Amino acid sequence: MVHVPSVLSGAFLLAALAGAQSHVNFESGQVQPMRLTPDGRLLLVADTTNSRLSVFDLRQPSLPQLVAEIPVGLEPVSVNARTNDEVWVVNQVGDSVSIVSLALGVVVDTIRVKDEPSDVVFAGGKAFVTAATTDQVHVFDAATRVPLGVVEVFGKDPRSLAVSPNGAVAPTRQHAADAAARGPDRPRGRPAVARYHRTAHGLLAA
């Protein structure tokens, strides 16, 4: 005699295994997923798959200790610490930036940025956030988080940003679709600096 519950359990298990084998995990491409706090004591990691900010204590650099996992927006791809406590986490699918307090271990504010925000850097008291799909960089007051403006970017799908020693900000990695505009003498992933000028916000733009 066959025990019905056992048969059902076996059927569910087989279905689950079949589903697991056919499942393909998809996640956004990471841009700047790891950065240190200014004092170098903590390593910040964007856990894209689980939509969390992972925090590691580096007091023993050879043996980092996971000290916090903080839920943020959907699919974080970049992190950057403005202070030793305040961390900006860029959520590409969530179209947002989560402002995290490490002391509190929670998101204390959320900034909406459309479309596909990818990276954030700080310069001159401002925060610069790329919006890859719209080929723009959104500028905020870093302390108050008030929007200051939007700058159009030369090239397609700007992702990561860099800050020069003189405080200018420029895209450093763009989508392959900008190859035609890039030209043969412009290496992939490098901004055409000669074709940029400094805007009122300190960003190098076309």
In a domain, 152, yes or no: yes
Residue where a domain terminates, one of 112, 140, 161: 112
Residue whose pair of structure tokens reads 């956030």 in the numeric block: 129
The proportion of the chain whose per-residue pLDDT surpasses 70, expressed as a percent, equals: 70
Predicted confidence (pLDDT) per residue in 85-115, tens digit: 999 999 999 999 999 999 999 999 999 999 8
Q: In which domain, by residue range, is 131 found?
A: 115-206
On the question of pLDDT at 154 being above 90, the answer is no
Q: Does 108 lie in the same domain as 122?
A: no
In a domain, 101, yes or no: yes
What is each CA distance from 32 to 12, 37, 146, in whole angstroms?
40, 14, 23
Supply the CATH number for residue 49's domain.
2.40.10.480
The proportion of the chain whose per-residue pLDDT surpasses 90, expressed as a percent, equals: 58
Predicted confidence (pLDDT) per residue in 134-144, tens digit: 999 999 999 99
Predicted confidence (pLDDT) per residue in 25-63, tens digit: 666 789 999 999 999 999 999 999 999 999 999 999 999
Banded pLDDT at 71 (limits 50, 70, 90) = very high
Q: Does 78 lie in the same domain as 31?
A: yes
In a domain, 2, yes or no: no
In a domain, 57, yes or no: yes
Q: Does 128 lie in the same domain as 95?
A: no
Q: Does 106 lie in the same domain as 31?
A: yes
